Structure 1
Amino acid sequence: MLLLAGLMLSTLAACEAGEATGTARAEDGYATGTVVDTQGNPIAGAKILLDNSVFRTSYIDTTTGEDGSYRVRVQPGAWRAYATFKKDYNGQTYTLRLRPDAADSFDQDGAVRNFTWQLEGRRPENDAGYYGGYIHPSREVGFEHDMEDVELVLTPDGPLIDGSAGKQLRLRLNDHYWRDLFQIEDIPIGRYTVTATLQGDGQGRPLRVRDWHGQDDLAPAFQLDFRPETGSTPGATAALVIGD
């Protein structure tokens, strides 16, 4: 009897602790959760996709309500939950991935999967994927300097896509963002002024840059805007050219 009473008290305490911390409990037969932005505000209209991890092209989807919550019935099988939403920024519409609080699969017993908008960071379901945008750097014809000696500076020109101020980024090959010669990864999506210098002997010699997509000549600086990925594919990319 004492053991039974102890177990009941432990269960009651766990339930009360869950309620006190706001921890949601799984609902049998349903996937539920909430979606919030970088400031913790609810995102209405986010698309929730349940993907069957066994059978290809087997999906269940829904969208979040005004309070950022969703509830969708789960069929038998093994499922993983994903979330995206559309955001207008500087005249373009971006489809953005959202980060789940858990990336493991679940079944018809139901699960709670909450999602948060992150400007950068590695996606848990894809070791090669990030929440930030990609920039593809290249050399102007005749530029023969070692790219390891190039420093790019990205200065925010206005608020980032989530409305935050952002920060100036100094990029060198093999650093946190510029991991590969031809790809800079995980840059918070925003509008940036880009400049470049050639580092050496303790001094930086100004280089010239341009937008790879544009027709402008090389200049001391240019305005970089990320382009949304085509169709409904989440993400954003940009490209630049570096020269003397």
Structure 2
Amino acid sequence: MRTHIFIYALLILGISCSNSDDGPNEGTSGNDSGYVYGKVTDTEGNPLSGVTIYIDNSIFYNSGITATTKADGTYKVNTPQGAWKAYAELSTIYNGTTYHIDLHPTKPEGFPGTEINERNFIWRTVGENPLNPGTYYGGLVKIFKDPNSDIYDYQNIEFTFTPVGDLIDGSSGSVVIRTCGAPGTDFYQLIHNVPIGRYRITAKYLTTGETLKLRDDYFTNDPYEPEIVMDFFGASSGANCENCMYIAFSEL
């Protein structure tokens, strides 16, 4: 997600950002400006407060407006003339780690700043983000082989992710069984879109049926085990990626 500060608007146009209680029918703040409003909820329809809303200019770089949702999950932002898109990001703590989560827009299209526009967002744990095609709400798993392993066809390794406790959104989750993509594809050595949570992970080499040993490959001194328990890395994990995990495999 692109986070921008709308400096030129504040200094030159004097446009203000508002999270007031005024409803969507109050009218615009002038002939050359309108506003965008909306509500942010979880998967059960409950309001999410404290979510950061980014109203990003589609033409000018580094020229956006930032707001925060209120206790009832709503927000409202005055928008000057121009072309805009709305984004939402949730910051939440899960198992002691801070995560930044992009939220799903119910209407991803851009909008003109001189009109009144509604843009709502929902917290989804899986699915492709239409505001950033090719990225997903679920976490990314990166697969690596031990240097001494004789297995090179990563796509024939089946990984099973069994939730340990609730997922990041508080739901119970379910078992996820996945393989990575074939060589030459964008998904080779990668498993996309696993709901962010804590998992007990096992792996099986489908060619032989052999159970493989695994380890957290970000901390390379960890021993290989038949099963491991891992969280996805968050913003405060100290890793070089967010909402991802590194798994290495080796034969038993």
What is aligned with 1:76?
Answer: 81
Over the aligned positions, Cα root-mean-square deviation in angstroms equals: 2.3
What amino acid is aligned across from residue 53 of structure 2 in structure 1?
A: I
After TM superposition, give the deviation of residue 182 of structure 1 in Å.
2.0
Among candidates 153, 156, 165, match of residue 160 of structure 2: 153
Aligned counterpart, 1:114: 120
Question: Out of 55, 61, 69, which is 1:64 matched to?
Answer: 69
Instruction: From the CA coordinates, give the structure whose radius of gyration is larger.
Output: 1
- Corresponding residue for residue 55 of structure 2: 50
Residues 96 and 234 in structure 1, CA contact (< 8 A), matched pair in contact too:
no
Q: TM-score, normalised by structure 2?
A: 0.80
Relative to its length, the structure with more helix (as a share) is 1
What is the TM-score with the length of structure 1 in the denominator?
Answer: 0.82
Q: Which runs of 5+ in 1 are unaligned?
A: 1-23
Q: In structure 1, what is the equivalent of residue 215 of structure 2?
A: 210
Match of 1:240 in 2: 247
2:19 corresponding residue in structure 1: none
Match status 1:170 vs 2:172: no
Is this contact kept in 1: 2:181–2:189, CA < 8 A? no
Aligned residues: 216
Letter of the aligned partner of 1:222 in structure 2?
A: I
- Following the alignment from structure 1 to structure 2, what is the Cα–Cα distance between the partners of residues 234 and 115? 24
Partner of 1:148, secondary structure, is helix
Alignment-derived partner of residue 141 in structure 2:
135
Tell me, yes or no, if the aligned pair for 1:27 and 1:109 is still in contact at 8 Å. no
Q: For residue 100 of structure 1, report the CA deviation from its aligned partner.
A: 0.8
Deviation of 1:25 after TM superposition, in Å, equals 7.4
Match of 2:234 among 214, 217, 228: 228
Aligned position for 1:6: none
Structure 1 residues 34-68: Cα deviation after superposition (integer angstroms, max 9, x where no partner): 00012210000111110000111111111110000
Identify the match of residue 130 of structure 2 among 124, 134, 138: 124
Residues 98 and 234 (structure 1 numbering): CA distance in 2 closer, same or farther, change over 3 Å?
farther
Check conservation: 1:96, 1:235, Cα contact below 8 A.
Answer: no
Q: Does 1:96 align with 2:101?
A: yes
Structure 2: runs of 5+ lacking an equivalent = 1-23, 29-33
Between the aligned partners of 1:45 and 1:234, the Cα distance in structure 2 is 24
**Maintained 8 Å contact 1:179/1:185:** no
Q: Which amino acid aligns with 1:180?
A: F
1:7 corresponds to: none
Q: CA deviation at 1:174?
A: 3.1
